[in-house]
Chain A
């Protein structure tokens, strides 16, 4: 079944079951692989995207939920990696393997949109994405730094 969704400001017609998780629509149908598969059960956050500005875990979000909404992925966070979160992540050399970081940055961007100067407690609450390389302390510092850069 063909449905149209808006991703990063572009309209995409996709032929997929409306129950197909948005994650796999983005990755395998639209070809945006910056959004990652980590657990598939809403737990790790590697698949975090924005739907109408809210951080959403796309692995458990059916395609149908995204229809008529504005979806933003890491590829669309900024045109040139100039989003304060991307600048802060680069400045603090946060990433190790990098696999979880698109989800981390999407979660951070949504947090900062809501709370421009988050406390550590707010960061801990909002940023419960898993990073197996253990970059958590740099992530926390980078969220604060992004708040300064914004």
Chain B
């Protein structure tokens, strides 16, 4: 099929009247250079399709101003609900006042990064959304860009009016002369880009900020969400597009044995069948190219699969469901039940096989011996991401080119996976980032992209949208890493732990949040060992990966030590943290204590639990506590347990220190959502195995938190008074995933005398 219409426009050569200027900021000896870059053609833009670029004068890749006065602010970081599209324009507006109705978000695509020598991926990979979307370097670069652009606009307007620059002021979207004349930014943008300033302006001092941390802004895409026009990956429509429904080996790691396409060939709309063979060699990447997350079988390798292609998704899925297909289960079938695997995990905790000794401070083994004062075994199961938008993607494979439209979390990884699957040079691959119906880590590895391309390449020249049904999405997860842990401790005369042994086994078992816990400064003997043990299920990052298990285990264990010692759990932690350099931990504990009414009478049948942790420290040191980094979260969960054993959560208090805020309400939103998600997951979620297959396929068997869930918190109070307000702008999405579950378990212990050491908590009979 010939490529036509809109699809092709983007690749026409650049015409002179659509020049795009580039100012490269600061990097070149402090001065700004202005140049012309022949980069991808602009199209009439609409933000419902954030991959489509608007026309305009480009000041840098991050900022363009159009003749229609629309200011385009670009991001390398997919907005998956986290608000990157809104944070970047807010930063720009601190120095360059913007008319918010004329702001458009857009992406810097990975092919541009590749074409421009990787300058947008200087940290080693193009920023993707799984944290650190607001790096200070990016903040300062954007502030400088906005200030420099503002001064150029002023000078251009002054020239236009033959006036003094001093007489030109800026207001939202326009320039005003002292005598009242105005010009829009758009009217002078092209001229402004040619202005050479004698000196680049300094961005205003932080004390003068009027937007960042001072105002909250709704998401730029909110109006589109309100009327349903936002184009998520699954909503994409292209001329000549066909639809595929996909089924991968129900036992992950299995193989396709046989299928009978003839049985469904004649059904309405059916076009064809595609088989994906994982054993067929893939191209790999040319010398010098590297996929940020690598190309590995377990992360984004091809799975044995079959897909039916039809004129609509419904027809494709109907035919797929009717088509006889047989599978070779392979190795995974030996996991006859979840319990078989849990027993195996538990056995490995008892009889470690070549464990990885992460920390061996003092001699915990000798101190504890076989007389531990506190002992607990924890389990956090596999869980599904359940992205509201089921997995999907669209690809158009041609002889010398691959173009993809993806609801991905990592466009750069997608680009290289696409190159590997097609054998095309990475420079021949284009990635269009659509809106995303949440990610939580599921869309980082791009195994979904792999399967999209593997199916689409069977129909070269035709755009193919590949959709995973909900059942397929749930049964072909990259699940939350299952983890089991056995913790033992010896307490000293004052009740504080003098030795702890933490033994962890699980899929990708890590030590994040334990080996770098500041408690280590107060515990002279600590042995931390990990073992990587998995079934055939594939795992991957799940909002706060590793840490969402480790924080639960460590904080629950500390609560158990405190209860054993008969010491208030907040005071206990303050003692443990006394030597730590970062006072935020104690400050946050004091804050949630005060705000939650900790220690006061909560009423009959109501109790409170506490926990604290830090997400992001692992980026600085995974084995030693480092203060003033990442995001610290302290929480008090207030709970009730009914006579029937149902858990109710009237209130959650959360105090955070992520440094400084950019968009307060956006941060509050992420924290609230994280509390709901992590408590719902802790209460209900578990993926089970049956002969290597995933049992749960949909919401009839996989329970999620809902509005009418008894354990949905009735109130969530986020407290920002403990912010350190320094130069740190750390993340908000993952941090709330850690402390709430152990705090809930603590409260339930106080009410029932039972420790909830195993998720999902809802399985434990509390009646």
Contacts and interface: CB of A to CB of B under 8 A. Distances in A.
Do A and B pair up? The answer is yes
Interface of A: 17, 20-21, 24, 27-29, 31-41, 43-44, 46, 73-75, 77, 81, 86, 89-90, 93, 95-102, 105, 123-125, 127-140
A34 to B, nearest CB: 2
Contacts of B266: none
Provide the main secondary structure of the chain B interface: loop
Contacts of A93: 216, 218-219, 222, 665-666, 669
A127 to B, nearest CB: 5
Contacts of B134: none
Interface stretch (B520-528, B566-574, B707-715): B707-715
A140 B707 contact: yes
B387 A24 contact: no
Nearest to B715: A137
B388 interface: yes
A28 B312 contact: yes
Contacts of A28: 243, 312-314
Interface in B50-105: 80-82
Nearest to A98: B225
Contact of B81 (A31, A77, A97, A102): A97
B475 to A, nearest CB: 13
B706 A128 contact: yes
Nearest to A31: B237
23 contacts: A24-B314, A28-B313, A34-B227, A36-B388, A81-B226, A81-B227, A86-B227, A95-B81, A95-B219, A96-B81, A98-B221, A98-B225, A99-B438, A102-B225, A125-B708, A127-B708, A133-B81, A133-B388, A133-B673, A134-B673, A135-B676, A136-B705, A138-B669
B159 interface: no
A78 to B, nearest CB: 8
Contacts of B222: 90, 93, 95, 98
Contacts of B440: 132
A29 B312 contact: yes
Contacts of A133: 81, 388, 438, 673, 677
B700 interface: yes
A83 B219 CA distance: 19
Nearest to B221: A98
A75 B226 contact: no
A118 to B, nearest CB: 12
Interface stretch (B228-236, B257-265, B450-458, B723-731): B228-236
A102 B232 CA distance: 13
A127 B228 CA distance: 19
A21 B312 CA distance: 12
Contacts of B80: 97
Contact of B707 (A21, A27, A32, A128): A128
Contacts of A135: 669, 672-673, 676
B698 interface: yes
Contact of A86 (B226, B312, B670, B715): B226
Contact of A75 (B218, B227, B387, B669): B227
A39 B237 contact: no
A13 to B, nearest CB: 16
A3 B415 CA distance: 43
A44 to B, nearest CB: 6
Nearest to B237: A31
B195 interface: no
Interface residues of B, number: 62
B388 A124 contact: no
Contact of B388 (A31, A46, A136): A46
A132 B673 CA distance: 8
B197 interface: no
Given A33-B235, A81-B226, A130-B388, A123 B313 contact: no
A20 B311 CA distance: 14
A74 B228 contact: yes
A51 B543 CA distance: 37
A33 B228 contact: yes
A38 B437 CA distance: 10
B673 A96 contact: yes
B562 to A, nearest CB: 29
B557 interface: no
B760 interface: no
Interface of A is mostly: loop
A105 B715 CA distance: 21
A41 B227 contact: no
Which of A24, A86, A96, A101 has the most CB atoms of chain B within a 10 A radius of its CB?
A96
A53 to B, nearest CB: 19
Contacts of A90: 218, 222-223, 226
B268 interface: yes
A76 to B, nearest CB: 9
Nearest to B677: A134
B185 interface: no
B705 A134 contact: yes
Contacts of A137: 672, 676, 713-716
A105 B243 CA distance: 29
B695 to A, nearest CB: 16
B704 A132 contact: yes
Contacts of A37: 234, 390, 470
Contacts of A34: 227-229
Interface centre among B229, B268, B708 (most CB of A within 10 A): B708
Given A39-B698, A95-B219, A21 B230 contact: no
Contacts of A81: 223, 226-227
A38 B706 contact: no
Nearest to B231: A33
Contacts of B470: 37-41
Contacts of A89: 226
Closest 6 CB pairs of A and B: A34-B228, A134-B676, A97-B81, A99-B437, A98-B225, A74-B228
A119 B706 CA distance: 17
B708 A128 contact: yes
B469 interface: yes
Interface in B174-220: 216, 218-219
B438 A97 contact: yes
B674 A134 contact: yes
A93 to B, nearest CB: 5
B115 to A, nearest CB: 30
B402 to A, nearest CB: 24
A40 B437 contact: no
Contact of A139 (B219, B388, B707): B707
Contacts of B238: none
B48 to A, nearest CB: 10
Contact of B389 (A20, A36, A131, A140): A36
Interface string B659-672: 00000011001101
Contacts of B438: 96-97, 99, 132-133
Contact of B387 (A73, A101, A132): A132
A93 B386 CA distance: 23
A120 to B, nearest CB: 9
B342 interface: no
Contacts of A40: 469-470, 698
Interface centre among B216, B234, B435, B707 (most CB of A within 10 A): B707
Contacts of B715: 137
Contacts of A33: 228, 231, 234-235, 237
A114 to B, nearest CB: 17
